Chain A
């Protein structure tokens, strides 16, 4: 009695819930942000004025934007490079067999598991130059003569980078370690028989094997660090020195919620989105070119 649905229709019906969710949760907010970026809109006053590309032109002339962009690039690049270097090194160590390895593996995950707010509060307390443990220890060991003001204007960026690397390196460790465990041990054994040293084995066996994972890790960590909000905000919150770590996401938030310029803030978010899209596309292209060359 009932007419059977055709196969393509059934397929479309099957993916419809997912499409609806993607539309509602991803496409609509992005489209709304783009629309908002073309308006001069107060954050809570219910009036708006069409300004077209006016917000984008204002951003191009805005010194604060360029400063925030530069800080964001410095923060994302330095934290990603350090996470990668330390993460791969730690994964290699944890891949080796030693007594208590299981406990150490569990322990290195700890920074990634604790809530950001807790990590920030603890580190800010440790680094406080008046009563913090770090300066106190350095002074006791006579490694410094004066306390280092980690959260002051001169060092707040470097202390933020250090804290972020501490917090997010476990992600790299776990991901790389998982891949290392799938490399057939015969490859290393054969290379060892052929007389290859540790560095040669790493360069010619391990690195090519983990290359795809590193590609994903660099991409994800780069994007996540560039758009990182919570850690950066909490690190600089409540301090005038916070302006030294005002990255682009923080600036977009401020424009929206403390300057009350929702349109301007949305334009900043759209620019950030386009930058990341462009960087990702370029990165993929580079990777594919190298893959095909290999």
Chain B
């Protein structure tokens, strides 16, 4: 009887042993926004390499769409189940740090070398002298135009808002009564409308908030911006409010549009894949300075650089930081950057200098695109979404303003026919109410 029982018990123990071993592994979840298959492949390979030397840890990397990130992070936080580490917008990082949700990352910054981080982005998410976020890779939004088409039509590269409208109108092509090519394409995706409002307003010498933190949406630069949107609405494809960020890349690459105002280095991949081979180069798809508004002096662009954040209550916080140290080692970091070469630029000076990083055919071919982004870095013409001045990063409510969609509604009210001043006044009232409700602003 005893031996008859012993055999199945032993079998069960033996069968469950490997499972118990796997269950003992500490799972570290990282959410990040680089979702292109080749980048995910690099990250998964990196995780596998890390696990080889850390058999007690299992790294789970999940790619999230950029536009969804904040919503999903918030839902996870509300449910009490955030990942161990995640990308976030710089304003998300600032907001989470202000709310005490993040673990300081001074150890990660020290491992990379604080002085080794590019000066412009070192303080991307620093609060009270402590690092709460380290950007994975900086990039700038860029203005792309079809150089060959401008030359054909004898047009100059636009430098101001008015010139952009004129050039867009001149580049529009109609065949057999139908539009064959639009002069300009822009996305109506809410996140990117927020981005556009921020960078266009800065390029027009405006601001979103005054020194006391009160919204300033009814000031002249914003009214001019909304007037500009009305003009843009006339030259953009009629469905632009429904066009996603990737739709606009497709429009440009396939020749459905001649200029793209909110492009990013990632667009090179789409051009090389979808544009005719004989024109898929920077001689045809050139970059130019962003435009300056009637009240502005210098151009402005949006910084695309999500800091890595580690959550304070994360069970695997220490392991997540250790994996991030591994991530920033050149052996791992360079393949990551090379997975989307013109979009993922190094945040570390040492990587910039590393010949292995520079030794990339795509970087050599599209150098003008990289140079343009670096020009914006150098001149400090680049800021995170809704940040006009670096001091805005101290405002912990930018995340709420962005998430509310009030600025998007303001733009759409304006393009749907509401007067710019009324649309701005309506948005001003809504932002004031939102900030009062959330306790950020006294009525």
Which residue numbers of A lie inside 8 Å of B, CB to CB? 40, 42-45, 58, 128-131, 139, 145-147, 149-153, 156, 237-243, 254, 256-262, 264
Contacts of A254 in B (CB 8 A): 403-405
Q: How far is the CA of A151 from the CA of B408 in the complex (A)?
A: 16
Q: Is B424 an interface residue (CB 8 A)?
A: no
B11 to chain A, nearest CB (A): 34
Q: Is B23 an interface residue (CB 8 A)?
A: no
Q: How far is the CA of A264 from the CA of B439 in the complex (A)?
A: 14
Docked-complex contact B241 and A153, CB < 8 angstroms? yes
Chain A residue at minimum C-beta to C-beta distance from B401: A259
A264 to chain B, nearest CB (A): 7
A228 to chain B, nearest CB (A): 18
The size of the chain B interface, using a CB distance under 8 A, is 42
Select B404's contact among A147, A153, A258, beta carbons within 8 Å. Answer: A258
Select B78's contact among A128, A149, A241, A257, beta carbons within 8 Å. Answer: A257
Docked-complex contact A240 and B241, CB < 8 angstroms? yes
A-B pairs, top 6 by smallest CB distance, nearest first, are: A258-B403, A151-B242, A44-B77, A240-B188, A149-B239, A241-B241
Q: How far is the CA of A147 from the CA of B243 in the complex (A)?
A: 14
Docked-complex contact B193 and A240, CB < 8 angstroms? yes
Per-residue contact bits, chain B 189-232, to A (CB 8 Å; 1 contact, 0 not): 11001000000000000000000000000000000000000000
Which residue numbers of B lie inside 8 Å of A, CB to CB? 67, 70-71, 74-75, 77-78, 99, 101, 177-178, 188-190, 193, 237-245, 247, 250-251, 256, 399-400, 403-405, 408-409, 411-412, 416, 434, 437-439
| Contact residues of B: prevailing secondary structure | helix
Contacts of A243 in B (CB 8 A): 405, 408-409, 412
Select B437's contact among A58, A256, A258, A262, beta carbons within 8 Å. Answer: A58
Docked-complex contact A239 and B244, CB < 8 angstroms? yes
Docked-complex contact A259 and B434, CB < 8 angstroms? yes
Contacts of B247 in A (CB 8 A): 128, 130
Supposing A240-B241, A240-B411 touch, asked if A257 and B178 sit within 8 A by C-beta, the answer is no
Q: How far is the CA of A257 from the CA of B405 in the complex (A)?
A: 12
Given A238-B67, A238-B245, A260-B403, 17 more contacts at CB 8 Å? A40-B437, A42-B438, A44-B77, A129-B237, A130-B237, A130-B251, A145-B178, A147-B238, A151-B239, A152-B240, A153-B241, A153-B412, A239-B190, A254-B403, A257-B78, A258-B403, A264-B437
Docked-complex contact A45 and B243, CB < 8 angstroms? no
Q: How far is the CA of A131 from the CA of B244 in the complex (A)?
A: 14
Docked-complex contact A44 and B74, CB < 8 angstroms? yes
Docked-complex contact B190 and A240, CB < 8 angstroms? yes
Docked-complex contact B242 and A152, CB < 8 angstroms? yes
Contacts of B238 in A (CB 8 A): 129, 146-147, 149, 152
Select B438's contact among A153, A239, A260, beta carbons within 8 Å. Answer: A260
Supposing A130-B247, A153-B416 touch, asked if A241 and B101 sit within 8 A by C-beta, the answer is no
Q: How far is the CA of A35 from the CA of B74 in the complex (A)?
A: 21
Docked-complex contact A43 and B78, CB < 8 angstroms? yes
Q: How far is the CA of A259 from the CA of B409 in the complex (A)?
A: 14
Chain A residue at minimum C-beta to C-beta distance from B74: A257
A254 to chain B, nearest CB (A): 7
Supposing A43-B74, A156-B242, A238-B189 touch, asked if A260 and B177 sit within 8 A by C-beta, the answer is no
Contacts of B67 in A (CB 8 A): 237-238
Q: How far is the CA of A271 from the CA of B231 in the complex (A)?
A: 41
Contacts of B251 in A (CB 8 A): 130
Docked-complex contact B408 and A130, CB < 8 angstroms? no
Supposing A239-B188, A258-B70 touch, asked if A146 and B242 sit within 8 A by C-beta, the answer is no
Docked-complex contact B75 and A257, CB < 8 angstroms? yes
Contacts of B437 in A (CB 8 A): 40, 58, 261, 264
Contacts of A240 in B (CB 8 A): 188-190, 193, 241-242, 408, 411-412
Contacts of B416 in A (CB 8 A): 153
Q: How far is the CA of A42 from the CA of B409 in the complex (A)?
A: 23
Q: How far is the CA of A45 from the CA of B95 in the complex (A)?
A: 11
Q: How far is the CA of A257 from the CA of B365 in the complex (A)?
A: 42
Q: How far is the CA of A257 from the CA of B239 in the complex (A)?
A: 27
Docked-complex contact B190 and A242, CB < 8 angstroms? yes
Docked-complex contact A43 and B178, CB < 8 angstroms? no
Docked-complex contact A130 and B239, CB < 8 angstroms? yes
Contacts of A242 in B (CB 8 A): 190
Chain B residue at minimum C-beta to C-beta distance from A156: B242
B88 to chain A, nearest CB (A): 13
Q: How far is the CA of A42 from the CA of B438 in the complex (A)?
A: 8
Supposing A239-B189, A243-B409 touch, asked if A139 and B241 sit within 8 A by C-beta, the answer is no
Q: How far is the CA of A40 from the CA of B438 in the complex (A)?
A: 8
A191 to chain B, nearest CB (A): 51
Q: How far is the CA of A139 from the CA of B412 in the complex (A)?
A: 28
Q: Taking each of B70, B101, B188, which has the highest tally of chain A beta carbons within 10 Å of its own beta carbon? A: B188
Chain A residue at minimum C-beta to C-beta distance from B82: A44
Contacts of B241 in A (CB 8 A): 152-153, 239-241
Q: How far is the CA of A149 from the CA of B233 in the complex (A)?
A: 14
Docked-complex contact A258 and B99, CB < 8 angstroms? no
29 pairs, CB–CB < 8 Å, chain A vs chain B: A40-B439, A45-B99, A58-B437, A128-B239, A129-B237, A130-B256, A146-B178, A146-B238, A147-B238, A150-B239, A151-B239, A152-B240, A153-B416, A156-B242, A238-B190, A238-B245, A240-B408, A240-B412, A241-B241, A241-B242, A243-B405, A254-B403, A256-B78, A258-B74, A258-B403, A258-B404, A260-B74, A260-B403, A261-B438
A42 to chain B, nearest CB (A): 8
